[in-house]
Chain A
Amino acid sequence: MTLNGAAAEASPGSDTTAAELVRDELGLTGTKVACGAGVCGACTLLVDGTPTASCLLPATALAGRTVTTVEGLAGPDGLHPVQRAFAAHDGMQCGYCTPGFVVEAAAFVDRHRAEHGDTRPSRAEIADALAGHLCRCGAYEGIYAAVAAACAGEHDTESPLPPPRAEAEEKVTGRARYTTDVRPEGCWEAVLVRSTRAHARVAAVDAGGAVHVDLLGADRTVRYVGQPLLAVAAPTPAEARAAAERVAVDYRDLPAALDPAAAHHAGAPVVYPTREAQNAAPSNNEGPPLPGRWRGNLRGPSGFGWRGGTAVRRVKDAAKRGDRRLVAEVFRTGPQVHTALEPHACVARWDEHGDLHLHTSTQAVVGVAEAAAKRWGLPRERVHVTAEHVGGGFGAKGGLRVEVVAAAELARAAGAPVRLVFDRAEELTDAGHRPGARVELGLLADAKGDLAALTMDAYNDGGMSTGGMVATLGLLMYGNAPRRLRDFDVLTNRPPGAPFRGPGGAQFHWALEQGVDMMAERLGEDPLALRRRWDGNRKRRALYDWAAALPVWAERTRGAGTGRFRRGVGVAAANWIYLTDPATVVDLVVEDGAVVARSAVQDIGTGSRSVITDVVRTELGLPADRVRVGVGRSGWSYAPGSNGSRTTASIGPAARDAARALREEVRRRAPGAVSGSGALDPEALKSLEGTQAGGRRRRDRGGYLTPVALPGMGAPGRGLTGAVHVMEVEVDTLLGQVRPLRCWAGISAGRMYNDRLARNQCEGGVVQGIGYALYEQRRDDPVTGAVLTTNLEDYRIPGIGDTPEITVHFHEEGWEHVVGGGVGIGEVSTIGVAAAVGNAVHDATGWRPREVPIRPDRLLEGIGLK
């Protein structure tokens, strides 16, 4: 074949796909495989100029063809215009889907320009062209902008400006290397053997002579279909699969609790029968689980609030007298699966000194290194964790997970590097999920319309994991009226949950923020005005004022519409805590005429590399090519994990502190190299080789809410971040479908370190919230407990055509006490979105959705139209 302009030869096996050929045999790892079913488009190649899903193409079908991979898109004049456009408009976050998008978009742009000249295609045309691609980060707004601009001929020459994302060029060219792209010489492949039973004691396992590691706990019990019980390794993937198939497991079946609605009934099979087993239950939350008493499969309540007795009494009395100012409602959510496009993966190797090397797709580089050191009894510096690029995380890639444990153990047993990569079915079953919840809400207003009481009981469905924290989040909203907030875990023999972008927040706001809208209706008050009144916070009041002034809000028609297609506008507010990690440091050194930063921080698409890059460039007034930032190695300077929206608020201030320290060091050594404005003379850097300075995350004015940072939590800072989402939808009342048309996202989190990347992350938050509200539903077999939605066709995350036009507004004041003036946005930008959709659907139809996803059949049943 002709590959990227040159003749290439290969003799692939008959069961090799084209994707495997280019990745594994030809080493062109820009092409990704994420679904294996032609749904996600990450593997798209041009075959004779035509975009083709290479995971569905036998490699032998490439014989005699002209093949172009993302690595071959660039021409003699540099990058393809579409690559430049994706970089300039930041049409990416984690970058794992980017090569596929770029290859398809290049073909579309070339054809469009040939047929229509340099004109901008419509949004619908772009959506059609890219319908076969999925971006879990939700970077679709940037992609729309990039494709339209490339079609219009705006990127035919290189931009004089650096792209907003530091590693954009690596991502659009396929050079960015992820864990799944790492395959060292002599590397073995590992496969997990998973339970086929929902609940069983494992009497015996026969590994059939394979190199293996046992993964069962002390009680030798499996508690869900898909639970890893053994891992095997072999020199090739095919041999490893065959070895896994030969493993014989002798199960002694136990009765299983599969239905969360019945799991706490008397006589239901008990998931954790002993105290030891209960204590060993995995947590689906960050930090230690809240205390809670066990009664069979019910754990809890872990109760919070203030004047809880008053709250309960007021709500009960109001119910008795039939008070219209009482909103008492039950809301439901199901499990939402993270679905990062890069699956969980680890390549483990022990070197000749006994050091452990882990290349892993993690959102906690330091956390993995520390946990691995502890587990294998090594000094921390002898565990070397690398995560140069990470294809999304969203909470599911924290800590020392099974892929790391298994790969490291197998590598020791095999005496060879071992690679373990989840397939999509494993990813959709056992990589964690946002637990479902049944939320009982009581919301009472007094005669003046003020909040008189809030009660919330949340029954959290995290499968066989504990740690649900939904109702507890009622501490964060609407002042200090009396409230009782109780969380329960309902245990079942289903896969364990994991923290997911704003853990508990999406479930909580789905219930509360629709309840507030119901209250507004009862009080005859504008929903924004009511929120503004109840929420005394000045920063968030600014967001309500901004939202109230939006034409879509001011000019909306009130009351349910008529006709087949009905439009509605909904609003929802959300608050989140602000965390930072005071132990964060950034070190700078002058090397090869450039200022170089090396940080352990991982970049899972949230832009941590770019935050450090921008701060150093700006602070030192240096051009782009004079600042280099390396991230994702545990041996580099300490940074926290990417969870709890804390990364930017930790590394940003430390980077600025380091840059200032470096400037002083340079001034000391070469006074002439620092200008009056504090900029460094780029030319002078050459003679300053080796100059170093370190910076740390200095303390906020007023300190933190706790005197010391909490393990696994960081320091909770002063102030809550806020979001107000305004969503416009169109409901098809005949087919029951909901189409989000436009969304406005107002965010109060202070100054943004990198405006475009911050907007991108908020846009993605809207997209994920829409998926939660409308499409995403994990389905489990009620008889066997097996997850049924094991591919991306059936577990439906939003595509580009599902994306409304999104406008992001930052209210930056109010965070002056924070070093650097800005805090994290990852979580607050998504947790309220589904409720905004729910409120918009109600506005359009008069029907109140109480369960996500708002499926067409539920909507039709709700509006009673047949």
Chain B
Amino acid sequence: MDFLSPDTWAGALAAKAARPEAVPVMGGTDVMVELNLGRRRPHALLDLTRVPELARWGAEDGYTRVGAGVSYTRLVERVGSRAPALAAAARSVASPQIRNRGSVGGNLGGASPAGDCHPPLLAAGALVELASAAGVRRVPASEFYLGPGRTVRREDELVAAVLVPEPRGPQVFAKVGPRNAMVIAVVSFALALDVAARRAGTGIGSAGPTPLRARAAEEFLAREFDWAGGADPSPEAARRFGDLVAGAARPIDDVRGSAAYRRHALAVLARRAWARCAAEVRGGGV
């Protein structure tokens, strides 16, 4: 196995162009697990930890651009208020040692349906920036995922960054894990509201072959939400919203949870997310 370790972004793109089969590795929190457990034995690893550009973040045209190598810990500490749902998801990742190394870029590169970052990126309408030696393109998160571990990223491309729109309303992220400490998501849910435009975005994690949006639920909430006053939803509306979110999921039974439980828990998370967003609007937090 070759270990490629470029120290510039141009060098990384060139290496990827020359060795498209090379597996990019940032914190190693996904890739190295697969190596250690013998699930995968690539011919080459492309270590991106020495590329300074990937560790940068900043504002850009109404977005916050977060380099693919920004660790979850950094994301929580430095980017938090500019991408609240994403930061909440980052805060919920595994454990401090994993958050110190893992990054959004790795989450997108691996594209595990259980990745914590996907729902907030979907809900917030984020863009994924892909780069190759041939150029750069930006893909909406909602078009990025194709299947478990599969995305629209081409072999010669690297995930360069995500661009998260500046928040225009309350955002929440919640997940259910199998035990209290150190949890991988059994199911997760993100909700992001645009108060001015009266629009809602959703993201569902761990409940389908890819992270999913619940579009019917978004439209329902946009109609029913008390945008001016932030009143709590009626029990019927909350229930309907939960059902629409659960209905958008395509979960399976696996060792972490049953499909039925996942749908149930999603409905609970969704109802609670609505209530929390409403409370934030009421409180004038936005």
Contacts and interface: CB of A to CB of B under 8 A. Distances in A.
A and B are partners in one complex rather than unrelated chains: yes
A480 B50 CA distance: 73
Given A132-B182, A796-B179, A57 B28 contact: yes
A56 B28 contact: yes
B37 to A, nearest CB: 6
Interface stretch (B90-98, B119-127, B202-210, B276-284): B90-98
B256 interface: yes
Given A51-B100, A132-B94, A736-B261, A58 B181 contact: no
Contacts of A774: 179
Contacts of A796: 178-179
A788 interface: yes
Nearest to B271: A734
Interface string B94-124: 1111101100000000000000000000000
Contact of B184 (A127, A775, A793, A856): A793
A132 B180 contact: no
Q: Which of A51, A53, A794, A856 has the most CB of B within 10 A?
A: A53
Given A39-B182, A866-B264, A131 B95 contact: yes
Interface string A110-140: 0000000000000000011101111000000
Contacts of A104: 96-97
Interface stretch (B1-9, B11-19, B135-143, B227-235): B1-9
Size range of the chain A interface in the assembly: 35 or more
Interface stretch (A294-302, A340-348, A799-807): A799-807
Interface in B22-63: 25, 27-29, 32-33, 35-37, 45, 47, 49
Contact of B181 (A61, A794, A801): A801
Contacts of B101: 52-53, 56-57
Interface in B256-275: 256-258, 260-261, 264-265, 268
Contact of B261 (A55, A60, A132, A860): A860
B176 interface: yes
Given A52-B101, A856-B261, A17 B95 contact: no
Interface string A834-866: 000000000000000000000011001000001
A56 B45 contact: no
Contacts of A56: 27-29, 32-33, 36, 101
A802 B101 CA distance: 24
Nearest to B27: A56
B235 to A, nearest CB: 14
B196 interface: no
B109 to A, nearest CB: 15
A735 B265 contact: yes
A798 B256 contact: no
A801 B180 contact: yes
A856 B187 CA distance: 13
B255 interface: yes
B180 A38 contact: no
B165 to A, nearest CB: 29
Interface in A127-174: 127-129, 131-134
A50 B49 CA distance: 15
Nearest to A57: B28
Contacts of A801: 179-182
B88 to A, nearest CB: 14
Contact of B97 (A52, A736, A788): A52
A47 to B, nearest CB: 8
Q: Which of A36, A799, A857 has the most CB of B within 10 A?
A: A857
B96 A132 contact: yes
Contacts of B265: 735-736, 856
A438 interface: no
Given A53-B98, A860-B261, A798 B268 contact: no
B1 A14 contact: yes
Interface string B167-206: 0000000001011111010000000000000000000000
A249 to B, nearest CB: 18
A196 interface: no
A51 B32 contact: no
A801 B95 CA distance: 12
A643 interface: no
Interface in A718-753: 734-737, 739
Contacts of A739: 180
Nearest to A40: B182
B218 to A, nearest CB: 23
Given A41-B97, A132-B96, A794-B256, A58 B47 contact: yes
Interface string A31-50: 00000111101001000001
Contacts of A798: 179, 181
A791 interface: yes
B96 A129 contact: yes
Contacts of A412: none
A55 B32 contact: yes
Given A56-B27, A735-B268, A794-B256, A800 B181 contact: yes
Contacts of A856: 176, 257, 261, 265
Nearest to A779: B255
Nearest to A51: B97
B275 to A, nearest CB: 12
B97 to A, nearest CB: 5
Contacts of B28: 56-58, 61
Nearest to B253: A857
Contact of B32 (A57, A134, A775, A788): A57
Nearest to B268: A734
A108 B32 CA distance: 25
B70 to A, nearest CB: 14
A860 B49 CA distance: 45
Contact of B45 (A14, A131, A857): A14
A790 B39 CA distance: 12
A131 B255 contact: no
A425 interface: yes
B180 A50 contact: no
Contact of A60 (B29, B47, B257, B268): B47
Contacts of B260: 857
A798 B177 CA distance: 13
Contact of A802 (B49, B95, B180, B184): B180
A36 B261 contact: no
A78 B166 CA distance: 50
A15 interface: yes
A591 B260 CA distance: 68
Contacts of A860: 261, 264
* Top 6 A-B pairs, shortest CB-CB distance: A132-B95, A799-B181, A801-B181, A14-B3, A857-B261, A36-B36
Interface of A: 14-15, 17, 36-39, 41, 44, 50-53, 55-58, 60-61, 104, 108, 127-129, 131-134, 425, 734-737, 739, 774-775, 779, 788-791, 793-794, 796, 798-802, 856-857, 860, 866
6 contacts: A56-B28, A60-B3, A60-B5, A104-B96, A735-B265, A739-B180
Interface of B: 1-3, 5, 25, 27-29, 32-33, 35-37, 45, 47, 49, 73, 94-98, 100-101, 176, 178-182, 184, 255-258, 260-261, 264-265, 268
Given A15-B1, A799-B179, 9 more contacts: A36-B36, A56-B32, A127-B180, A131-B181, A132-B95, A791-B37, A856-B176, A856-B265, A857-B260
